[in-house]
Structure 1
C-alpha cells in the first residue's frame, strides 16, 4: 500500500490559516502524526477534504504556495535546493515530488522556453484546482527565493474555469494567465532556467538524490507493470511517453525495465496502449473532455489516429461509447 507524507509546507499553511490539525485529522479518521510520517492516498484525500471545508477559501492554494519554509521542504525540496540551476531544480522536483503527495511534473523545453506541465489526478475534487495553484505558486516562490527575486514566468495556462480572484493570480505570477485551457502549465525563459541557485551544493545534491531514489524504491512496492501504468497516467499530457523517459523516472535503465516487464508478461508498448485505452474510457464516461482534446492529451498525432485506436479497443467510436455508458 502506497504511503507518503503530506508536504510539510502545506501542513504549515493549513495550520497558519487557523485549522486545528489534530481536530481535522481526527475527523478524517487518522492521527495527526501520520500527516508527516505517512498516509495513504485515501487518508490524505479525507484529511484535505476536511481541511478544505474548514478553510472555506478557494484561493488557498495560491496563498499556500507563496509561503515556503526552507527547513520544511522534505527530501524532494532539499534535493531541488542543492541543484546547480533553477531548471535542474525543477527537473529534480519533477522526479521526486510524489515523495510528498505532490503531482509529478512533465518538463518540456525548446530553445526559448522551459515549461512545467502537471494535471492533478484529483482535479474533480473541490481542492483539485487549488492543488495545481499551490504547485505552480510554490515553484515560482522557490525560484524567487533561491535564483532571482525578480523572476516571473512567461505564461501560465490552467484547466480551471476563470475564477473570481483573477487579480491574485496576476499579482503573484506577473505574466499572462489563460484559464479553461487543455493543460496546466507554467513556462519560464531558458535564461531563468539557467540561473544558478544560491543554495547549490554539489556534494549535498549527490547524497540527497541517493536518498530520494532509495525512498522512491521503498514507496514502489507494487509490480513494475503497476509502476509503469502509474507513471504513464501522470505523463500522458500531450506527448507520447518513451521507454527511455519512463525508465529514467523509475530510476532504472531501459534494459532493466524491459526485462522486468517481460518477466511479468508485458511489454512497454502494450502497457502504454492499455493505459491510453483505460484513460480514454474513463474520460469519455465522465464527460470531462471532448475527443480532440483527449486525442491530444493521450499523445496521438491527430484525432483520426485516436479514432482508429479506440475502435480497435472497443469496436465502436468514442461518441457511441460515451452515449452508451451514460444512458
Structure 2
C-alpha cells in the first residue's frame, strides 16, 4: 500500500460535535445527520469506535447546514450560514497577518455572547485566546477545540502554509483521548489552564499576504477538512514510522528495519516514540486499525481480503485484533446504514 492513509478519529469527537447540535436540533435530526455522513448509529456509543476523516467532515457539513449554525450549537447564539464567508472577506484587505487576525477576533466578539476572543502579541508570540465573559458561560468542549482550529486554519490559509504552533492550551480538563490531539494540533498541549489559547511566532504577524475573493470560495468549499486536520504531524517520528509501515506491512516491518530506514538506532527510535507518548507496536496497530476501518467503511472489499492485506493469517486472528482496537467486530462497520461511501 503506497498511498496515504488518514488517521481515524475516536467516536468521542463525533459525540462532542453532536452534544452541541442536540441543543438546537431534535434527536430525529441528529439521526439524519449521522446517517447522511455514513456513520453507523449503533457505533455512536461503542467504546473504542472510530470514524474516518471523510465521515467526520461530512457530519460537520451536514450539521452546520442542517441547523443553520456554523458553530453547531457549541455556543449560546447561533452563527448563521454564510458568517464564515463574510468573516474571511473582511480579512482580505488587511495589511498584515497580525492585523487580519486582530480583525478575526473583533468580528467574533460582535457575535458571541458568552465568550470573547482576544489577540495580543506577548514575549515573542502571537496569542489568540478564548475566554468566558462571566461564570455562567458554558461552551461545549468541542466549541473550544473548534474555535482554536478555525483561528489556526484561517491564519494558515491567509499565510499560504500551515503555521507552526508553539503551544495550545485548553481551559477544560485533560480528556481520555488526549493522545489523539497530535493529529489535530501540532504543538505541545496543556489542560486545566485559565483560558483556552494558541500561540505562534510573532514574526508571522508581519507577514503580508495576497488572497482574493476568487480564492475564498474554494477554501470554504473544502472546509472544514483544510483546517481541522494538521499536515505538520509529518514532523513526528511516529508519523514517519507510520509512513514506513505503509509500504512494509506484509514484508519486513520489524522495529530494526524501521530504525534503519529512519537512520536511527533502535534505542533512539524507541526513546523518541516514548517521548511522543507512543511505541512502535502502538503505531503499527493504529495503522492497521485505520486501514481496516477505512476499507470497511469506504469499500466493498471482503473482510477476508482486508485481513489478508493487513498480514493476518486468518479471519479469526483479524477479528480478535480488530475487537481489541475498536471494541467492535469488523462486521459492525458493515451493517445497514453504513454502506460504502
**TM-score (normalised: structure 2):** 0.38
**TM-score (normalised: structure 1):** 0.39
Higher relative contact order (CA 8 A, sep 6+): 2
Q: Answer 1 or 2: which has greater helix percent.
A: 1
CA radius of gyration, larger in: 2
